[in-house]
């Protein structure tokens, strides 16, 4: 770049304000568009709340009742229709459902992820697999469960198949991107030394990407736990989600909903703690 061009660019980007301060930030049209879009969204949100048909509901009274229900739910929580032992059993069922679908999905995705990687597979095969799993991920887990419920019937079978199906689509994308981050020099060196395809996979690909494989698998396990809670209610898969559904929609027991929610929260925190410990032990 010549000195004249540099001087012109400096003049364009550095402008002095009326107070004599230097303004280094140049005008960016994208920032203006973002601010205008956010402003329009705020205005539309306010208009929506002002023009919404509340069907004669007193908003202040509704908010007061909501806070009262939350207080009752979490500060007066108790089990009425089943004991603590049954509650723990239902949580174990939910965790087992999440664990089973994660393990099955991870094993399938681990090998399909190899053929979905652009540096390990044929381009046509890679694009075909990536397009197929993109379609799988575009449909929510609950819809896959309901789709399989048509043939398998509502219950744990449909939940396992549907959750596994979505887990495979999720992990194939995660694993394939991890495999594509591997240094090409390592793969080329093994090819030059006469290594076969599977020798390259097991001696270079898996060891180099094990950190990402473990991290993504545990992340999906946590997602599957929340999905298992939802599937217990939506698909009749059992577990703590089914008890939550019965307490809120059949018994109308706010206190029982509160204790179940607290138990789910504690279980999720325990899973996060153990997954962090395992990741720190085997990754570092």
82: pLDDT strictly greater than 70 = yes
Structure confidence at residue 22 (pLDDT): 53
Q: pLDDT band for 18, please (50, 70, 90 cuts).
A: very low
User: Phi and psi (nearest 5°) for 22?
Assistant: -90, 125
**Stretch 123-132: mean pLDDT, rounded?**
89
Q: pLDDT band for 11, please (50, 70, 90 cuts).
A: low
Q: pLDDT band for 102, please (50, 70, 90 cuts).
A: very high
Q: Under the phi-then-psi rule, with left for phi > 0, alpha for psi from -120 to 50, and beta for the rest, what region is 225?
A: alpha
pTM: 0.74
Q: What is the pLDDT of residues 224-265, one digit of tens each?
A: 998 888 888 777 777 888 888 888 888 788 888 888 888 889
Structure tokens at 36: 């205008």
Q: What is the pLDDT of residues 201-223, one digit of tens each?
A: 888 888 888 888 888 999 899 89
Structure confidence at residue 101 (pLDDT): 92
Per-residue 3-state assignment (H helix, E strand, C coil) for the chain: CCHHHHHHHHHHHCEECCCCCEECCCCCHHHHHHHHHHHHHHHHHHHHHHHCCCCCCCHHHHHHHHHHHHHHHHHCCCCCCCCHHHHHHHHHHHHHHHHHHHHHHHHHHHHHHHHCCCCCCCHHHHHHHHHHHHHHHHCCHHHHHHHHHHHHCCCHHHHHHHHHHHHHHHHHHHHHHHHHCCCHHHHHHHHHCCCCHHHHHHHHHHHHHHHHHHHHHHHHHHHHHHHHHHHHHHCCCCCHHHHHHHHHHCCCCHHHHHHHHHHHHHHHHHHHHHHHHHHHHHHC
Structural domains in the chain plus CATH codes? 3-51 (no CATH), 81-283 (1.10.3720.10)
Q: What is the pLDDT of residues 31-43, one digit of tens each?
A: 888 889 999 999 9
Q: What is the mean pLDDT of the chain?
A: 82
Structure confidence at residue 79 (pLDDT): 76
Q: pLDDT band for 279, please (50, 70, 90 cuts).
A: confident
CB atoms within 10 A of CB 264: 18
């Amino acid at each position: 770049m010549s000195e004249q061009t540099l001087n012109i660019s400096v003049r364009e980007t550095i402008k002095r304000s009326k107070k004599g301060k230097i303004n280094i930030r140049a005008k960016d049209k994208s920032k203006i568009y973002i601010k205008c879009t956010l402003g329009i969204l705020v205005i539309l949100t306010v208009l929506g709340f002002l023009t919404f048909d509340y069907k004669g509901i007193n908003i202040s009274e509704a908010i007061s009742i909501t806070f009262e229900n939350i207080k009752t739910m979490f500060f007066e929580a108790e089990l009425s229709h089943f004991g603590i032992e049954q509650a723990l059993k239902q949580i174990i069922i939910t965790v087992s459902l999440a664990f089973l679908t994660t393990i099955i999905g991870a094993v399938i995705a681990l090998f399909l992820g190899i053929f979905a990687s652009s540096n390990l597979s044929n381009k046509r095969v890679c694009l075909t697999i990536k397009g197929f799993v993109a379609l799988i991920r575009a449909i929510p887990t609950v819809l896959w469960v309901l789709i399989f419920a048509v043939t398998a019937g509502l219950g744990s079978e449909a939940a396992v198949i549907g959750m596994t199906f979505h887990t495979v689509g999720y992990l194939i994308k995660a694993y394939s991107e991890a495999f594509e981050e591997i240094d090409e020099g390592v793969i080329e060196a093994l090819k030059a030394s006469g290594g076969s395809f599977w020798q390259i996979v097991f001696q270079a690909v898996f060891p180099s990407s094990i950190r990402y494989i473990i991290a993504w698998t545990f992340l999906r396990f946590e997602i599957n736990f929340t999905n298992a809670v939802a599937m217990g209610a939506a698909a009749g898969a059992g577990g703590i989600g089914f008890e939550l559904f019965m307490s809120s929609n059949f018994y109308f027991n706010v206190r029982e909903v509160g204790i179940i929610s607290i138990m789910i929260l504690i279980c999720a925190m325990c899973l996060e703690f153990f997954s962090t410990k395992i990741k720190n032990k085997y990754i570092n």
